[in-house]
Structure 1
Amino acid sequence: MELRHLRYFVAVAEERHFGRAAARLHMAQPPLSQQIRQLEDELGLRLLRRTTRRVELTAAGEAYLVRAREILSAVSSAAGEAQRVAAGSQGRLVIGCVGSATYSLLPPLVRKLHEDLPGVDVAVQGEMLAPAQVAALHAGQIDLALLRRPVDESGLRVQALRAERLIVAVPDGHRLAARKRLRLADLAAEDFVMHAGAGRSVLQETVLALCRETGFEPRIRHEVTETSTLVTFVAAGLGVALVPASVAELRVPGAAYRPLTGKTEVELAVATRADDEAPQLLRALDVLSALVRRTHRGPGSPESGSRPTGDRQ
């Protein structure tokens, strides 16, 4: 039995006439009659009662028609689903994200993915430090990582998205909050709140290197894993912090943000497994690239002053 036998049977059952069914199927009537007889012979029963004027279904034919329609519908649905998956318009995508991008890039990205790829189930794991995202990529726990470079890129495909200036988060009422712009040297005597160290945070390593280049060792009083906690600690007066400019989108009462002089930038990149060619992932990367380009060019962007850095594989 083949699917064509089911299609032929359904056409005859619905038309109640071999001639009309043959015309509907764009075939001659004799081969159609022969195929229906082959189907009945294989089943060992009669599905149709033939008269000179019309065709009637037997009780077995009525039952078989219900199942035949279900089978043909399921086959059609399976083909449609496979085509949607192959086109990247259906599937599942898990995104990991560093804290600062959680408050700027992630919301419009997820909204755009829902708009452009409504059949893709998008899940998010936010506030992940870069090394944790790399481990999650290798383990297959996430499919796309928004992280800070440098990272161990072995087995990964990494592309720069944008360079982002560092700014200073200070407590409201702090003497430095009265300044319009700060130098890194102005923070030499301050307590720092930083992202977790011990190789877990690219941003901490960047801040340490900048402070040492300026000539002082920062006094780290608190280490945290989440950017929201870091800004909350600053607002509580527990120290100052260097954060990417997009963190200013996180409005926490008691915290103020001030520009930092000089060219102090960090890079945001997107990483995927090097061998992952899932269609929904490739389409999501296209959406992400278009969104980053539009964000940089659009007026009033929260990323004003930062610039795309191009592809640095």
Structure 2
Amino acid sequence: MELRQLKQVIVLAETLNFHRAAERLHMAQPPLSTSVKKLEEELGVMLFERLPSGLKLTPSGEAVVRNARRVMFFADEVKRSAREGESGEQGLLSVGFVGSASYSMMPVIIRRFRRRYPRVDLVIEESTTLELLRRVENHTLDVALVRFPVLAPTAAELSLLQKDVMVLAVPPDSPLAGRGHIHLREAADQPFIIYSRTLVPTMYSLTMYAFNEAGIQPRIAQEAVQVQTLLSLVESGLGVGLVPSQAARYAGEGVRLLTLDDLPASLNVAIALATLPDALTPAARNFIALAHETVAAAQDAGT
């Protein structure tokens, strides 16, 4: 078994097509087919089902691909460590983040990291918490800033960075807009914009739990994935919605944010760092340390 065979299997699993995989690998299709077949013979299992419509990973193939990604990650890490040493002063760092992390924390952390480690190449990507956790687990992201709590099982380790609370966003012409504080049940007759159940399950579950605790059956007008989208829909007059309070600085003139007096402590939210401790690069360790340092400095400045 060779590293090149594992790389070939990973690419083939991503394309499920020998021709497209061969193109990505810059090789001819027959040698690729032969190489994969030899690996299957060596392992004594079929990695792919050959179907008329294309390829399909077998259960054994899924297990092999999952571990092959780990092997390739650590092989790349050996090469990178040889080039960079253990200082983390240069190299590549992939960072993912949820949109709401960009409200206050993300720009400051990134700015300080670039200043302190100018030779590290940063790749920054935005996505949902579930997708970011999946990518951390697959070693395609070094670290991610995700929304906490996380209700789905994950192999990633989570460390809290910044705590937050949920507030109610309403349009300025709402009869509730003049209120500074409100009980959620007082908004029971309003159309609600909620988070997508499939794409943002944690925020959806927290929102529905808040409704349940307030004893209301919400009238759902629209779903959203990102906090920014939800705020835009509120500003458009489609309804009201629950958002983290850190969104205040980006809410705009067309949105009012009301403090909720009756939310249970279990509905507190936060931004957390998601990592795989056993797979951290030196640059990732530096980023994590600087992130916690940045948050601590901000908290000290606020006291």
Is the TM value for this pair above 0.5? yes
Identity %: 26
Deviation at 1:183, TM superposition (A): 1.2
**1:257-296 alignment runs, 5 A limit:** 257-262=257-262, 263=265, 264-296=267-299
Give deviations 1:55-107, integer Å, cap 9, x for gaps.
xxxxxxxxxxxxxxxxxxxxxxxxxx957542011111122112211211111
Normalised to the residue count of structure 1, the TM-score between the two structures is: 0.65
Residues 1:132 and 2:131 are matched in the alignment? yes
Number of corresponding residues: 219
Residues 1:143 and 2:146 are matched in the alignment? no
Give deviations 1:235-290, integer Å, cap 9, x for gaps.
00001111111111214341111211144411321111242121000010000001
Rg larger in structure: 1
Give deviations 1:178-224, integer Å, cap 9, x for gaps.
11111111221111112211263311211111110111122221111
CA contact (8 A) 1:168 1:259 kept: yes
**1:150-299 alignment runs, 5 A limit:** 150-198=150-198, 200-262=200-262, 263=265, 264-299=267-302
Normalised to the residue count of structure 2, the TM-score between the two structures is: 0.67
**Whole-Å Cα distance in 1 between the matches of residues 112 and 153 of structure 2?**
27
Where structure 1 has 5 or more consecutive residues not aligned to the other structure, the ranges are: 1-80, 301-313
Where structure 2 has 5 or more consecutive residues not aligned to the other structure, the ranges are: 1-80
Deviation at 1:154, TM superposition (A): 3.7
**Whole-Å Cα distance in 1 between the matches of residues 153 and 245 of structure 2?**
25
**Whole-Å Cα distance in 1 between the matches of residues 274 and 145 of structure 2?**
7
Cα RMSD over matched residues? 2.0
1:93 match: 93
**1:102-121 alignment runs, 5 A limit:** 102-121=102-121
| Paired AA for residue 208 in structure 2 | L
**Whole-Å Cα distance in 1 between the matches of residues 115 and 233 of structure 2?**
36
Change (3 A) 1:221 1:267: same
State the secondary structure of the residue aligned to 1:86. coil
Change (3 A) 1:112 1:175: same
| Paired AA for residue 213 in structure 2 | E
**Whole-Å Cα distance in 2 between the matches of residues 119 and 82 of structure 1?**
16
State the secondary structure of the residue aligned to 1:176. coil
Change (3 A) 1:275 1:151: farther
Give deviations 1:85-130, integer Å, cap 9, x for gaps.
420111111221122112111110110110111111112212x221
**Whole-Å Cα distance in 2 between the matches of residues 250 and 294 of structure 1?**
22
CA contact (8 A) 1:85 1:91 kept: no
